[in-house]
Amino acid sequence: MYTRLLNRPIEIGSSFFLFGPRGTGKTTWLRQHFHAGNAVFLDLLNADIYTDLLAQPHRLETYIPVSCPGWIVIDEIQRVPALLSEVHRLISNHRYRFALTGSSARSLRKKGVNLLAGRALTFHMYPLTAVELGKDFDLATALRFGNLPTVIHHNAPREYLKSYISTYLREEIQQEGLTRNLANFTRFLEIASFSQGAMLNISMIAREASLDRKVVDAYFGILHDLLIARNLPVFTKRAKRRLVAHPKFYFFDAGVYRTIRPMGPLDSPEETDGACIETLCLQELYAINDLLGLEYELYFWRTADGTEVDFVLYGPRGVLAFEIKRKANYARSDLTALKSFRKDYPMARCYLLYGGERAREEDNIKIIPFTQALHQLPQILQDKEKSAGMRFTNEREQHS
């Protein structure tokens, strides 16, 4: 069991939502921080509790003892959105504190999550990060199977991931009636996987899936609502040149993406390897930024002539730009996009993450091996590289 970076809900001490895709460890985290002595647990995956509260949400109060220890934990709250009205009432009248988890924001957004605006904070759980895994982190394994906690020590990770995908389709999509045609959605899901790490072209995907564009647009909305995919927007703040308009698309975990992506004799491993490395770096950036409360917004940057920086972080701590190269040896040309970006944003801190083994610095761009960078990402995002003990060789000095 790994110590997660998420501490802020406990430190703040207010009622909160904890959102995250299934398998990211929300329930395990709750069990670590809350127990029978300080919380009442209600698991809506329990059929008896679910049926009872679905029929009569006002019965929620009957599950809370008079001598309530302080916290009420409700797991998978999206299964009974009507409970939010009762939660609202109990917070107002009795000042109970609730920890509410969910793997889908769709039902809650439609049926009343705003009822708790100002009364419950929102936090997110992610796949395990390299920092959380520590010495157990293995880059090759992370790229192949991802970092879901349930995958890390599974005896058959590939088979588990296949089951994980089918479970999402069956339980989240079919049972909740999010789409009437599961076969169409399954075909869309596979075609969408070819857009991983690429600019999103919904019209093209609709043509390939033989579906109406509005249907495909709605399907992407389902992926976002189930928290298993995200769009990365273009960084356009004070743009000095013409930029592209379409966002890039990513599934939330490298292993989930690789499992969804169809592979055959005409598909080369290089087609997925590059997207997996980008996915892993992005999921780590999202997680570290959010879990540590660093308040960056994440983007990519691409000019109309095709010059692209994979990830841009913008926030109170400054501007950071990351270029991802999976090869073991980088070329000076690999720095071109970062140099171009810094011409427009000279305050930016620029990083090239690559598949080599040595950290170095060239033209004020820090060049860092993947594993080292992921382990030191909290320090990088907080601009504490020196205190983290990073040592960069100046490439020009080395060759002089």
pLDDT at residue 269 greater than cutoff 70: no
Secondary element (H or E) of residue 72: strand 71-75
**Calpha distance 370→18 (Å, rounded):** 29
DSSP 138-182: -HHHHHHH---HHHHT-SSHHHHHHHHHHHIIIIIIITTTS-S-H
- The residue with greater pLDDT, 178 or 75, is 75
CATH of domain 287-399: 3.40.1350
pLDDT single digits (tens) 26-38: 999 998 888 767 7
DSSP letter at 246 equals: P
Q: Per-residue pLDDT averaged across 372-378, rounded?
A: 96
Single-letter amino acid code for the residue at 22: R
Task: Give the pLDDT of residue 354.
Answer: 95
Average pLDDT, the chain: 87
Q: Which of 40-44, 109-113, 308-312 has the highest mean pLDDT?
A: 308-312
Task: Give the pLDDT of residue 238.
Answer: 87
Task: Give the pLDDT of residue 166.
Answer: 87
Cα distances (angstroms) measured from residue 73 to each of 23, 38, 198, 230, 315: 18, 10, 39, 28, 33
Pairing outcome for strands 360-362 and 365-369: antiparallel
Which range has the worst mean pLDDT, 5-14, 139-148, 181-190, 295-304? 5-14
Q: Per-residue pLDDT averaged across 59-65, rounded?
A: 91
201, 217 Cβ separation under 8 angstroms = no
Q: Is the dihedral of CA 373, 374, 376, 382 positive or negative?
A: positive
- The residue with greater pLDDT, 263 or 40, is 40
Single-letter amino acid code for the residue at 388: A
Single-letter amino acid code for the residue at 80: V
pLDDT at residue 190 greater than cutoff 50: yes
pLDDT above 70 covers what percent of the chain?
88
Task: Give the pLDDT of residue 122.
Answer: 86
Q: Per-residue pLDDT averaged across 319-338, rounded?
A: 93
205, 219 Cβ separation under 8 angstroms = no
Task: Give the pLDDT of residue 110.
Answer: 63
Task: Give the pLDDT of residue 68.
Answer: 78
Q: Would you mind telling me the total number of residues written for the chain in this entry?
A: 400
**Calpha distance 7→219 (Å, rounded):** 34
**Confidence bin at 396 (pLDDT 50/70/90):** very low
Torsional class of 287: left (φ above 0), alpha (ψ -120 to 50), beta (otherwise)? alpha
Pairing outcome for strands 39-43 and 308-315: unpaired
**Confidence bin at 399 (pLDDT 50/70/90):** very low
Q: Which CATH class is domain 8-124?
A: alpha beta
Angle at 340 between CA 339 and CA 343, to 5 degrees: 90
pLDDT above 90 covers what percent of the chain?
59
**Calpha distance 271→326 (Å, rounded):** 12
Buried b (16+ CB within 10 A) or exposed e, 127-166: bbbbbbbeeebeeebbbbbbbbbbbbeeeebeebbeebbe
pTM: 0.89
**Calpha distance 227→222 (Å, rounded):** 9
Task: Give the pLDDT of residue 129.
Answer: 97
**Confidence bin at 276 (pLDDT 50/70/90):** very high
**Considering only CA atoms, which of 389, 316, 387 is closest in space to residue 347?**
316
Instruction: Provide the 3-class DSSP secondary structure of residue 41.
Output: strand
**Calpha distance 243→68 (Å, rounded):** 56
**Confidence bin at 389 (pLDDT 50/70/90):** very low
Q: Per-residue pLDDT averaged across 138-158, rounded?
A: 93
Q: Per-residue pLDDT averaged across 396-400, rounded?
A: 42
Listed by start position, the domains of the chain span: 8-124, 130-274, 287-399
Q: Per-residue pLDDT averaged across 255-276, rounded?
A: 80
